[in-house]
Amino acid sequence: MKRIFGFLIGLMVGWLFGSTISLLFAPESGEELRAELRSRANALKGEVESAARHRRQQLEDQLAALRAPKLES
């Protein structure tokens, strides 16, 4: 959990840094740039949500396996 949290913090810091740099050096107009940033932010949000759903499913499967009655031979 600590590694995932650290990864997400690093991802957000990197995204913020990249956004700031792109705003400073962008050759596009403000409206075009905002649209591009909005699109990228939505794509990133989708990827994070997908990864979270996948991890949640893994954890639920592990929990179900731990709760399942064990058959002794």
DSSP string, 4-71: HHHHHHHHHHHHHHHHHHHHHH--S-HHHHHHHHHHHHHHHHHHHHHHHHHHHHHHHHHHHHHHSPPP
Section 21-27 average pLDDT: 77
Question: CA-to-CA distance for 25 and 60, rounded, in angstroms?
Answer: 45
Section 30-42 average pLDDT: 86
Q: What is the pLDDT of residues 38-66, one digit of tens each?
A: 999 999 999 999 999 999 999 999 999 99
Q: What is the pLDDT of residue 27?
A: 74
Taking all residues of the chain, what is their mean pLDDT, rounded to a whole number? 87
Section 3-24 average pLDDT: 86
